[in-house]
């Protein structure tokens, strides 16, 4: 009997040792199940005398446990081998990775525009917008440049009409030459206090060259409240200068002339190396302009400022020719 | 506008031209006064290597009539031989000798250049060659007692000078003159404005007059004509020629130069006519339509009735008033009597004439800004003083014609200025007694004290008309740098509006989808919109720079198609671009119905890709629209396009660019496109979504395939299925589209995976059977049949 058990054990261990993972479940049934050789031995135990039965029973249990453990070992070995095989098979060179999807790029003007907006929002401004095609009244008349005002000649204006044969001079519709009409629209639309910046597209009848485009972008600021002084203007320009350009940059105002502000100033930025950058124009809102906006200049005061957005973009990225920003060549766009 | 430092110093002194620090301080002062210095040029520096030399002997070359051999002594006792083309020098004369290796102002270098086999050891120079005067007719003759071998400039008394180029603002007409600039500078430095000493005395003569008739007294506010005799036409002295040259005017002769000198110094344009050529007088009138005049620059000009003409006594035009004199009455070498015109013209009329004729002269530049209307007398006197330098016998005759018109501005205006207003605008705390020191130097005379003062405005400041103009003058003199710096407190926190914020979200969403932002020109050619298949009226630019940019776009598509073509031509197929920009279809009123739109073009991608982008936008912005393929938007592929409908409104188009349109824009690729109005999409921000608890119960999937005729959109079936499933629905996704055997022609099989879940219990067989049956019924209403 014992011999029979030993033979079954030896045979079973031999089979297990040469089995693969998939056959182990079946093998477990064949070797230990009800129809297995050992099960038949177990069934024959009853025929033995008690001593021999005990001895044989003990041996049988030990062998069955040994076989079960052997199957478990074999299964673990197989799993480890399978994992190792998978890992080996799945080897990957991570530097072969291709982009999921090429990234898109914002236009340089948009990038500068948003950076400027963010700085002014931080200074307490909200953002106002207006139409690009304007009336003569909003673009000139309300800004203290009535019919025949000599300053109009400095804006090379593009006039617009439904009929191309219409005379340019006779049209009261035009492409805004600056974002200043938004000042008037804001004053007419809301009660002071007003703290707005108005970024937007503007138009001049300028032949394009490396530094000029007939279509370009400006940002305009307007503050109207009681007790606004020119010191507030100088302080706001200075605060903007530090916030936008960084520490070490300062600003100065110097006298200039614009029909819609008085006193008027140019504002220059002083770089840390001591050089100056002429940035834009500003001034105290002219009493006539406040009146055009429906406000009493004896009650309200204000200041306004404006400068070019394109130039900020061009300077930041050292773009030599402003026209490059408007070719829409992907090789340009995707650099930024 | 250029000014010369030595000339300013005639009213100063302000700075030593040799002292760089003083020069820089003048520039800083001018800029801080609002007379921005654009550039600083040093002039009159002597040409290095040119020294004084005495002419020893002169020989005519036997074989070359125009060339002379000259031997000179440059002080070292060595006779040097030079060739010379001029003949005005004689033995004993002192002349400038450019030694070998000298670089002349025109850039050439003096070399040992041989003529006829004999070397030249230098070059004798004319004033023109040295940039030191206007006389190029012969070698410059230096004073005979000059030391030899020293720099010629030392013998000449020529000194370094500085030209400031000022970027003047339109309001500062008074600074279009040396004296005007000097006045501001003197006021700034609290020093008196000096009187220039240069000039010579002249005699007053008997009554000789010319007749002046001013027909248009509005446009010509004043016209004076003064007879000046004893004129000898000759070159101007070098110092005058140098000043004119430094400020960009060509010296002509002493009469014309004196006229220009007065204009540059005082800002009063004037014109000297040959008195014998003006027919006894002047008549100032409007031109007749198409009346012709040949101006001094030799151009024949055709006038309109808006042009003002100076005519002679015979009513023949001799000048385009305030702009340029005529060619026929020019001063010539035989002129001995001059009729000097000094007039005041209304500025806007001059501006129109100058613009119409494209003729911006030094005179018109000043008149169109506004000339001091009380300057005539001073200008006439100054003309005589300067001309008398070269014409010792000069006589200014009495009997000057002086006609004033209605257009001449009133003199002696004054403005009431509240001290409180000054402080309110500037944030200063000035008192009335501070004002004279700030304003008097500018000629703005303050009188009175207390809360308000009276400020008398001088005739040279036509720009000062109201209280705020005086406030600005106070600020300018007080110094912008001295005004304080404060930051006003905003009443609200700064922020973007919801639309502006959502527009930023949209841009970033598109960039995340790999689409880059372009900014095409909003102006297109007259046929561009038609080429793009986009009908409808357009707005036109009435004065376009070029015809190709004369129409305002009504769609963003043409600009982006042009960009796609550009990139294709540079071997960059497959670009994905977007633009957010305005379009301008005509409206009912004066202004167009301008609105902001988004356009996306996907080169090399089809309409499904465009729909994919739209779905991302819709999900990202929380908006919806129906893709209605029953409408065919013009310019898009007829069988691969749809309009986007939000309720009844068409908000955009989607699909592919029509192949013929792509061809017309030279685009080879298929182009997926989406164009949509942004105003509504951005404005309607959806409210926050309320949380729904996620069910803990297991879900079940059900796959159903339907055969649907091609003319029924898939999303209609999907909507029907979603409705049919009812409350158990988690998702319903189209996962397969099949055309081919087993599915009839003109139909396709659409397979949907429907996920079901109950909030509180498992999905049962009965649930699934019910869903299947309801889906079948719902599909049948769309014409779809469940595939077995």
Confidence band, pLDDT 50/70/90 cuts, at residue A153:
low
Whether B175 and B33 have beta carbons less than 8 Å apart is answered as no
For residue A176, give the chain B residue with the closest CA: B591
* Residue B218 three-state SS: coil
Residues B427, A122: C-beta atoms closer than 8 Å:
no
User: Hey, are the CB atoms on B425 and A161 less than 8 Å from each other?
Assistant: no
Q: What is the C-alpha separation between A25 and A227, in angstroms, rounded?
A: 92
CB contact under 8 A, B369 and A150: yes
ipTM, two decimals: 0.87
Residue A122 pLDDT more than 80? yes
- Same domain for B631 and B653? yes
Residue B494 has its nearest CB partner, among A121, A166, A215, at A121
Q: State the pLDDT at residue A168.
A: 77
Q: In terms of domains, do B398 and B448 share one?
A: no
B155 in a domain, yes or no?
no
Whether residue B288 is contained in a domain is answered as yes
In this complex, do B425 and A123 lie within 8 Å of one another by their Cβ atoms? no
Q: Are residues B339 and B369 in the same domain?
A: yes
Answer yes or no: do A164 and B540 touch at CB < 8 A.
yes
Does A229 contact B at CB distance below 8 Å? yes
**Predicted local distance difference test score (pLDDT) of residue A129:** 96
In this structure, the answer to whether residues B636 and B778 fall within a common structural domain is no
Interchain contact A50–B (C-beta under 8 A): no
A82, A90, B404 from A93: Cα distances, Å: 21, 10, 94
Query: Given this model, what pLDDT does residue A154 score?
Result: 67
Query: What number of CA atoms fall less than 13 Å from residue A305's CA on the CB side?
Result: 23
Alpha carbon distance B743, B706 (integer Å): 10
Per-residue model confidence (pLDDT) at position A56: 85
CA atoms within 13 A on the CB side of B208: 17
Nearest CA in chain A to B491: A193
> B597 with B640, same domain?
yes
Residue B426 shares a structural domain with residue B286: no
Domain total in chain B:
5
Longest dimension (CA), chain B: 132
pLDDT at B101: 87
| CB crowding B676-704: b at 16 or more within 10 Å, else e | bbbeebbeeeeeeeeeeeeeeeeebebeb
Q: What distance in Å separates the CA atoms of residue B88 and residue B137, rounded to the nearest whole number?
A: 9
Q: What does the CA dihedral A198, A200, A206, A208 come to, rounded to 10 degrees? A: 130
Q: Do B584 and A254 touch (CB under 8 A)?
A: no
Which residues constitute the domain of residue B721?
A: 700-786
Backbone angles phi, psi at A140, to 5 degrees: -125, -60
CA dihedral B691, B695, B696, B697 (to 10 degrees): 180
Architecture of domain A108-333: 2-Layer Sandwich (3.30)
State the pLDDT at residue A213: 94
Which of A108, A309, A322 is CA-nearest to residue A209? A322
- Secondary structure of B567-596 in the HEC alphabet? HHHCCCCCCEEEEEEEECCCCCCCCCCCEE
Residue B284 maps to which CATH number?
Answer: 3.50.40.10
**Could you give the residue ranges of the DSSP H alpha helices within B226-375?**
238-246, 254-266, 347-356, 362-367
d(CA A243, CA B91): 74
**Residue B626, C-beta contacts closer than 8 angstroms, at least 6 positions apart:** B644, B645, B646
A-chain CB neighbours of B430 within 8 Å are: none
User: Cβ separation of B517 and A284 shorter than 8 Å?
Assistant: no
The answer to whether residues B263 and B176 belong to one domain is: no
Inter-chain contact A256–B543, Cβ cutoff 8 Å? Answer: no
- Is B494 in contact with A195 (Cβ distance < 8 A)? yes
pLDDT, tens digit (0-9, with 9 covering 90-100), for A9-56: 888 888 888 887 778 888 888 888 888 878 888 888 888 888 888 888
Those residues with Cβ within 8 angstroms of residue B750's Cβ, 6 or more apart along the chain or in another chain: B705, B706, B708, B714, B717, B734, B736, B737, B784
Domain boundaries, given as residue ranges, for chain A: 2-96, 108-333
**Residue that terminates a domain, selected from B629, B657, B683:** B683
- A106: chain B residues, CB-CB within 8 Å: 507, 511, 516-517
Q: How far is A287 from chain B (nearest CA, A)?
A: 8
Helix axes A50-89, A2-17, angle to 10 degrees: 0
Residue B33 to chain A, least CA–CA distance (Å): 6
Nearest-Cα residue of chain A relative to residue B427: A229
Give the Cα separation of A158 and A133 in Å (integer).
10
Among B351, B476, B526, beta carbon nearest to A153: B351
Domain membership of residue B55 (yes or no) is no
C-alpha torsion A61→A63→A64→A70, nearest 10: 140
Q: Do A330 and B512 touch (CB under 8 A)?
A: no
Residue B465 lies in a domain: yes
Cβ-based contacts of A103 with chain B (< 8 Å): 511-512, 514
Give A 140-199 residues with CB within 8 A of chain B: 148, 150-151, 153-154, 158-164, 166-168, 171-173, 175, 193, 195
Residue B387 and residue B516 in one domain? no
List of chain B residues whose C-beta atoms are within 8 Å of the C-beta of residue A110: 507, 517
pLDDT tens for each residue of A64-121: 899 889 889 998 998 899 899 999 999 999 988 888 888 999 999 999 999 999 999 9
Q: What is the pLDDT of residue B133?
A: 66
Query: Which chain A residue has the Cα nearest residue B587?
Result: A162
Helix axes A2-17, A37-44, angle to 10 degrees: 160
What is the token pair recorded at B117? 């086999």
Question: Among A127, A133, A225, whose Cβ lies nearest the Cβ of B488?
Answer: A225
The 3-state secondary structure of B83-115, one letter per residue = EECCCCCCCCCEEEEECCCCECCCCCECCCCCE
Cα–Cα distances (Å) from B58 to B68, B170, B407, in that order, read: 7, 57, 64
> Sheet of B729-738: strands edge to edge?
B729-738, B747-756, B700-709, B785-786
Domain check: are B473 and B609 in the same one? Answer: no
B216 and B182 in a common domain = no
Q: Number of Cβ pairs closer than 8 Å across A and B? A: 255
How large is the greatest C-alpha to C-alpha distance in chain A, in angstroms? 134
Residue A66, SS3?
Answer: helix
Q: Taking the model in full, what pTM does it have?
A: 0.84
Q: How far is CA B544 from CA A173, A210, B501, B562, in A?
A: 14, 20, 35, 20
| Inter-chain CB proximity A150 and B550 less than 8 Å | no
Burial class (CB in 10 A: 0-12, 13-18, 19+), A192: buried
The answer to whether position B264 is within a domain reads yes
Q: Does A33 contact B at CB distance below 8 Å? A: no
Total residues found in chain A within this entry:
336
CATH number at residue B454: 3.30.56.10
Reported confidence tier of residue A312, pLDDT bands at 50, 70, 90: very high
Q: Exposed (0-12), middle (13-18) or buried (19+): which is B783, by Cβ within 10 Å?
A: middle
pLDDT band at A155 (very low <50, low <70, confident <90, very high): confident
Contact B424 A236 (CB under 8 A): no
Question: Are A234 and B369 a contacting pair at CB < 8 A?
Answer: no
List A residues 237-266 in contact with B (Cβ-Cβ < 8 A): 238-239, 252-257, 262-266
Closest Cα in chain B, distance from residue A253 (Å): 6
Residues B554, B446, single domain; the answer is no
- In chain B (788 residues long), the average pLDDT of successive 10-residue segments reads 95 92 96 93 81 88 77 85 85 89 85 76 85 76 82 77 93 95 95 89 89 93 95 91 88 94 97 89 94 91 94 92 85 91 94 91 93 95 96 93 92 94 96 94 92 95 95 96 88 90 97 97 96 95 93 97 97 97 94 97 97 96 91 94 93 97 97 96 89 90 94 92 93 94 91 94 94 94 89
Q: pLDDT value at position A44?
A: 82
Please check whether residue A315 touches B, CB under 8 A: no
Distance from CA of B560 to the nearest CA of A (A): 9
Are B652 and B580 in a shared domain?
yes
Q: Which of A159, A215, A239 is opposite residue B542, by nearest beta carbon?
A: A159
**Boundary of a domain, candidates B132, B153, B188:** B188
A132 touches chain B (CB under 8 A): yes
Q: B692: which DSSP letter?
A: -
């Amino acid at each position: 009997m014992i011999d029979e058990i030993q033979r079954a054990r030896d045979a079973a261990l031999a089979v297990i040792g040469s089995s693969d993972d998939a056959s182990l479940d079946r093998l477990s049934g064949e070797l230990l199940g009800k129809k297995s050789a050992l099960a038949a031995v177990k069934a024959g135990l009853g025929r033995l005398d008690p001593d021999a039965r005990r001895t044989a029973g003990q041996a049988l249990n030990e062998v069955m446990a040994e076989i079960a453990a052997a199957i478990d070992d074999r299964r673990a070995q197989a799993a480890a081998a399978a994992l190792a095989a998978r890992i080996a098979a799945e080897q990957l060179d991570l530097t072969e990775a291709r982009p999921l999807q090429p990234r898109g790029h914002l236009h340089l003007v948009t990038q500068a525009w948003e950076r400027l907006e963010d700085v002014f929002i931080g200074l307490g401004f909200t953002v106002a917008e207006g139409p690009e095609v304007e009336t003569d009244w909003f673009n000139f008349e309300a800004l203290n440049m009535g019919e025949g005002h000599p300053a109009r000649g400095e804006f090379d204006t593009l006039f617009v009409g439904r009929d191309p044969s219409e005379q340019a001079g006779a049209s009261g519709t035009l492409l805004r030459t600056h974002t200043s009409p938004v000042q008037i629209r804001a004053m007419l639309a809301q009660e002071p206090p007003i703290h707005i910046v108005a970024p937007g597209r503007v138009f001049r009848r300028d032949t394009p060259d490396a530094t000029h485009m007939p279509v370009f972008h400006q940002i305009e600021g307007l503050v109207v409240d009681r007790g606004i002084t020119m010191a507030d203007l100088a302080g706001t320009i200075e605060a903007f200068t530090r916030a936008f350009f960084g520490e070490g940059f300062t600003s100065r105002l110097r006298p200039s002339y614009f029909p819609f502000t008085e006193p008027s100033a140019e504002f220059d930025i002083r770089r840390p190396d001591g050089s100056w950058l002429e940035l834009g124009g500003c001034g105290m809102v002219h009493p006539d302009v406040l009146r055009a906006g429906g406000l009493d200049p004896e009650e309200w005061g204000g200041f306004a400022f404006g400068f070019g957005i394109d130039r900020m973009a061009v300077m930041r990225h050292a773009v030599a020719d402003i026209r490059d920003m408007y070719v829409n060549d992907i090789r340009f766009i995707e650099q930024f | 506008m250029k000014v010369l430092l030595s000339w300013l110093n005639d009213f100063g002194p302000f700075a030593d031209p040799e002292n760089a620090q003083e020069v820089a301080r003048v520039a800083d002062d001018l800029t801080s006064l609002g007379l921005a210095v654009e550039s600083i040029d040093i002039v009159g520096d002597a040409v290095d290597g040119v020294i004084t030399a005495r002419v020893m002997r002169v020989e005519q070359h036997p074989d070359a009539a125009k060339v002379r051999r000259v031997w000179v002594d440059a002080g070292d006792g060595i006779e040097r031989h030079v060739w010379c083309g001029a003949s005005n020098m004689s033995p004993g004369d002192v002349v400038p000798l450019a030694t070998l290796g000298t670089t002349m102002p025109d850039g050439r270098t003096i070399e040992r250049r041989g003529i006829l086999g004999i070397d030249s050891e230098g070059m004798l120079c004319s004033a023109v060659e040295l940039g030191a005067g206007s006389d190029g007719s012969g070698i410059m003759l230096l004073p005979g007692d000059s030391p030899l071998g020293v720099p010629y400039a030392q013998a000449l008394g020529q000194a370094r000078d500085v030209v400031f180029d000022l970027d003047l603002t339109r309001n500062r007409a008074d600074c279009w003159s040396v004296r005007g600039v000097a006045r501001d500078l003197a006021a700034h430095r609290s020093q008196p404005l000096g009187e220039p000493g240069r000039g010579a005395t002249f005699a007053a003569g008997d009554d000789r007059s010319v007749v002046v008739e001013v027909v248009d007294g509005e446009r010509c506010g004043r016209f004076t004509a003064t007879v000046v005799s004893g004129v000898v036409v000759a070159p101007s002295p070098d110092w005058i020629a140098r000043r004119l040259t430094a400020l960009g005017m060509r010296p002509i002769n002493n009469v014309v130069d004196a006229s220009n000198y007065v204009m540059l110094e005082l800002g009063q344009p004037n014109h000297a006519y040959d008195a014998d050529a003006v027919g006894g007088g002047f008549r100032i009138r409007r031109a007749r339509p198409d009346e012709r005049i040949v101006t001094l620059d030799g151009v024949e000009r055709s006038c309109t009735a808006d042009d003002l003409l100076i005519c002679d006594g015979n009513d023949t035009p001799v000048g385009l008033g305030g702009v340029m004199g005529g060619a026929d009455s020019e001063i010539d070498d035989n002129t001995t009597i001059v009729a000097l015109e000094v007039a005041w013209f209304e500025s806007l009329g001059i501006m129109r004439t100058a613009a119409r004729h494209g003729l911006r002269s030094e005179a018109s530049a000043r008149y169109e800004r506004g000339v001091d209307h009380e300057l005539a007398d001073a200008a006439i006197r100054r003309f005589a003083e300067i001309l008398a330098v070269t014409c010792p016998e000069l006589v200014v005759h009495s009997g000057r014609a002086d006609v004033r018109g209605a257009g001449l501005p009133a003199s002696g205006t004054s403005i009431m200025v509240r001290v409180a207003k000054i402080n309110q605008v500037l944030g200063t705390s000035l008192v009335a007694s501070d004002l004279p020191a700030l304003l008097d130097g500018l000629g703005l005379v303050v009188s009175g004290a207390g809360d308000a003062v009276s400020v008398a405005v001088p005739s040279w400041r036509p720009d000062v008309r109201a209280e705020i103009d005086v406030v600005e003058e106070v600020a300018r003199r007080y110094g912008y740098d001295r005004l304080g710096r404060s930051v006003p407190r905003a009443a609200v926190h700064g922020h973007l509006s919801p639309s502006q914020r959502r527009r930023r979200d949209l841009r970033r969403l598109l960039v995340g989808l790999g689409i880059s932002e372009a900014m095409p020109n909003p102006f297109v050619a007259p046929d561009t919109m038609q080429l793009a298949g986009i009908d409808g009226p357009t707005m036109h630019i009435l004065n376009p720079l070029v015809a190709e940019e004369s129409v305002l776009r009504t769609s963003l598509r043409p600009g982006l198609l042009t960009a796609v073509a550009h990139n294709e031509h540079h071997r960059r197929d497959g670009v994905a671009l977007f633009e957010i920009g305005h379009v301008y279809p005509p409206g009912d009123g004066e202004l167009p119905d301008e609105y902001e739109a988004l356009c996306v073009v996907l080169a090399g991608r089809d309409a499904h890709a465009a729909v994919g982008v739209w779905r991302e936008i819709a999900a990202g912005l929380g908006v919806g629209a129906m893709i209605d393929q029953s409408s065919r938007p013009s310019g898009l592929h007829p069988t691969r396009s749809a309009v986007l409908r939000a309720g009844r409104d068409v908000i955009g188009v989607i699909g592919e660019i029509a192949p013929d349109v792509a061809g017309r824009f030279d685009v080879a690729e298929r182009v997926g496109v989406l164009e949509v109005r942004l105003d509504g999409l951005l404005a309607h921000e959806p409210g926050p979504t309320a949380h729904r608890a996620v069910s803990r119960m297991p879900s079940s999937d059900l796959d159903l395939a339907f055969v649907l005729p091609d003319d029924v959109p898939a999303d209609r079936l999907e909507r029907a299925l979603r409705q049919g499933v009812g409350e158990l629905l988690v998702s319903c996704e189209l996962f397969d589209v099949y055309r081919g055997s087993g599915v009839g022609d003109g139909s396709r099989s659409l397979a949907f995976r429907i996920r079901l879940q109950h909030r509180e219990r498992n999905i049962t067989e009965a649930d699934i059977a019910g869903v299947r049956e309801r889906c079948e019924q719902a599909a049948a209403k769309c014409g779809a049949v469940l595939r077995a």
